[in-house]
Amino acid sequence: MSKPVKIFITYSHKDTAAKDKLIAHLAALEREGLISLWHDTEIAAGDKWRDAIFSSLAKLNLLLYLTSAASLASENCNEELAAALNANMRVIPIIIEECDWLRHPLSDFPVLPDKGKPIRAWKPESRGWKNVVERIQSTVTAMQSQANPPSEMSEKELHAELAFQRGNVLMTFGQLDKAVEAYSDAIHLKPWYAEAYYNRGMAHAKTAISPRAIEDWTMAIKLKPEFAHAFYNRGEGWLSLREWDKARADLTAAKNLGMDITAAFHNTYRSVSMFENRNGLKVPEDIVAMLRQYPVNSLTTTQKILTPDGELRNTHAVLQLLEKFRCAGKPLGEYVQGRSSGIITGLNKAFIIDPATRDALIAAHPSSADILKPFLGMRDIKRWRVKPSNRWLIFTHRGIELNAYPAIKKHLEEYKDVLQERIGRREWYELLESARDPVRFERPKCVYPYMASETAFAFDDEGYYVGSPSFVLPTQDLWILGVLNTRAVSWFHARTTPQKRKDSFLTFSPRSVAQIPIPDMDSAQRSLLHKLVEYILYLKKLPTTDGSELTNARDYVMVAYFGHILDGLVYELYLPDELHQGDKYFFQPLFDECLPQLEEIPGDDKVPAIREIFEHLFDKHHPVRKNHFFLDTLKPIRIIESKQR
């Protein structure tokens, strides 16, 4: 008899009743020994609840996600989902009630009940549950039979599907290189997988259309001749490569297959001329006519604009501002090349250790020190500075010679059983995903979390290794950091990146961050931004500005004020006409001050000198203070800061 499939149920506490129903319906399967349910009641009192869940996930096989408005909005549920995917669990969403799951990464998985008809919509509901249990039973049986391989083909197909889903999730997290890898795995396992080719093409095309993207779409079309989206995207690709005839043919084909190509085009581009400007070309009139959607004047009324992955409702005034931001400079992706995603361990419990364990490992064998690296989790990254929680990463990258590190080997062996259950072509002791080039972590760099309530780029010059879902922005240019950590950029990002979360958090990915326009500046302007960021980073190191004591509130205000000055400067860069019409200037009065660079301030303790600078600039008559204080009386700033009636 095969081992029972171990099942974890993710649910929002609001759906406890539904969870109990599901467990009741699964009772028969459990009795038959087909499945075993993991209960959160199994956690011993006093255990850290979340940690217990995450370490358990690695041992489980199937995650049932009770999908409701509450669970979609729940941070815990989504974290559990992400952890399950990292642990290569199979995922089945069960739709409880009408909710917006189609726009959630969950929609990539086969949903239950059939056709996604919510449990609540079945009359009586127990019929819905019955449908769910039947399907789970067949899935479970299939999983067991694949665990004891019956036919090689179906196992490969299953793995192909898993790899494909994995790629989709990595795409939503913006980890394009890894997504490409995952799709390639899927294609390798199932060479006729048209959707995998199509999505790999999308991944290739995210930064710029490349011949590889075109090849993938061509392959997808060959495998599935009615694949309208593949025709459309290849057509758009030909457009940017100025292959007008091919573009015309593909777009026509997509249209004939019933696709609304104008809508699809305007999902990505506001207008044909925007497409032309971006790619520096001129589209022939007849193709423009195929794609044109709005009469020229209709922009004066409020529009709904669709973005690639979701819906954003932006008013005309907002669209105009966004366009001004874009026209003020070049995307960040053109300033900062290359990027790194955070490391995925596949089992944090094994790879992420506390200082005591680290000391013990080094004491056991000195070689351990070579691959123990300071580690940052997503919550350790704050605006400007990281606040590390003192954890260490066992950096067993691909191809490492484990025998050189006997103490580490011994430590990891404790987890060997669980580690081996991770899917992927890895040795059991290797990290699941890590950058090929760890130097990126070692060098001074900017880092940012996947999720934050405002832009939270931090400068790290202490060589921290970053865990997923956080990212590295390989730059040491502090002026870029100064642009990014402003209200203007937070707003731009929130307005141009579809937000998958229903709470106040914004999500960031290398793809979305690369689109942030960095305004054009001369060297004096950059240098001013640089100086202010230096002050902030220096002050942020002090316990008085970073601790939780309320003493020295003035220093805290000082740091905030330097941030406000950057807000003002960056607004002036994006919207010079608007600010100057309202008589708001920041650069000129600050140039007049001739602020010293940090290194020009003598002495070891530079705080008194910076305090003096602050008090001078903070005087209520100083133009910088006044202009910032009254900045939100200007209409565009009121729109951005949501103060408009």
Partner 1 sequence: MRITGIELKNFRAFYGTYQIDLHKAGKNLLVYGENGSGKSSLYLALKLFLESSEERSPFERHRNIFNADDGYIKLHLREDPKANEAIYEWSQTVRNETDNPLILAASKSKGCLDYKVLLETHFLHSKSDNVNLFKLLVESLLANTINQVTAQALGGEWMALQSAPRPRRNAAARIAELDEQIERFNRGLTNKVEELQTLASEILRKFGYDVTLNLTFEGITYNREAKTLDNQQLLLTVEFLDREIPAHHLFLNEAKLSAISLAIYFAAILLQPESDLKVLALDDVLIGLDMSNRLPVLDILAAYFPNHQIFLTTYDKVWYEVVKQRTSEKDWKYAEFYFSKTDEYEIPIYVADKAYLDKAREFLTLNDYKACAIYLRTAFEEAIKRCCDKKRIPVRYRSEPNKLDSQDFWDAIKVENQKSAFLTQSLISEIELYRSRILNPLSHATIANVPRKEIEDAIEAVGQLGQLKTAFG
Instruction: Give least dist CB 507 to partner 1, A.
Output: 13
Closest distance of CB 503 from partner 1, Å: 7
Give least dist CB 558 to partner 1, A. 9
Minimum distance from CB of 71 to partner 1 (Å)? 13
In the complex, minimum distance from the CB of residue 135 to partner 1, in angstroms, rounded to a whole number: 31
Question: The tokens 């799709």 sit on which residue?
Answer: 183
| Helix 194-205 vs helix 228-240: crossing angle, to nearest 10 | 30
Measured from the Cβ of residue 206, the count of other Cβ atoms closer than 10 Å reads 17
Rg of the chain over all Cα atoms, to the nearest angstrom: 27
Q: How far is the CB of 74 from partner 1 (least distance, A)?
A: 8
- List C-alpha distances in Å: 546 to 549, 558, 564, 599: 9, 12, 17, 22
Amino acid (1-letter code) at residue 534: E
Q: Which residue, 123 or 645, is less far from partner 1 as judged by CB?
A: 645
Chain residues binding partner 1 by CB under 8 A are 13, 49-50, 75-76, 379, 451, 453, 503-505, 548, 550, 553-554, 556-557, 560-561, 564, 582, 620-621, 625-626, 628-630, 632-635, 638, 643, 645
Burial class for 426, CB neighbours closer than 10 Å (0-12, 13-18, 19+): middle
Report, in Å, the least distance between residue 418 CB and partner 1: 24
**Paired tokens of 239:** 């457009």
Cα angle: 536, vertex 598, 517; to 5 degrees? 55
The count of other CB atoms within 10 Å of the CB of residue 33 is 11
Contacts of residue 26, defined as CB under 8 A and 6 or more positions apart, other chains included, come to 7, 35, 37, 133, 136
Contact 455, 493 (CB under 8 A): yes
CB of 230 closer than 8 Å to CB of 224: yes
Closest CA to 395 of 423, 373, 378, 377: 373
What tokens were used for 363? 């004491």
Q: Minimum distance from CB of 552 to partner 1 (Å)?
A: 9
Residue 315 gets which letter from DSSP? -
Nearer to partner 1, 181 or 572 (CB): 572
Q: Which helix (H) or strand (E) holds 362?
A: helix 355-364
Q: How far is the CB of 464 from partner 1 (least distance, A)?
A: 19
DSSP string, 224-241: -TT-HHHHHHHHHHHHHT
Taking the complex as a whole, the smallest distance from the CB of residue 470 to partner 1 amounts, in Å, to 13
* CB nearer partner 1, residue 227 or residue 562: 562
Distance of closest approach, residue 303 Cβ to partner 1, in angstroms: 21
Q: Would you say 454 and 533 are in contact if contact means Cβ atoms under 8 Å apart?
A: no
Supply the minimum distance, in Å, between the C-beta of residue 485 and partner 1: 15
Structural contact between residues 425 and 499, judged by C-beta atoms closer than 8 angstroms: no
Classify each residue of 319-346 as buried b or exposed e, where b means 16 or more C-beta atoms within 10 Å of its C-beta: bebbebbbebbeebbebbeebbbbbbbb
Q: Which is nearer to partner 1, 379 or 616 (CB)?
A: 379
Helix, strand, coil share of the chain (percent; to 5): 55, 10, 30
Distance of alpha carbon 36 from alpha carbon 57, whole angstroms: 13
Region of residue 604 (phi > 0: left; psi between -120 and 50: alpha; otherwise: beta) = alpha
The distance of closest approach from Cβ of residue 458 to partner 1 in the complex, given in angstroms and rounded to an integer, is 15
Is the Cβ–Cβ distance between 367 and 404 less than 8 Å?
A: yes
| Long-range Cβ contacts of 108-114 (<8 Å, 24+ apart) | 108/165, 108/168, 108/169, 109/165, 111/67, 112/136
- Helices 125-147, 16-31: axis angle to 10 degrees equals 50
- C-beta of 601 vs 610, nearer to partner 1: 610
CB of 543 to partner 1, least distance (A): 14
Q: How far is CA 130 from CA 25, 112, 137, in A?
A: 7, 11, 10
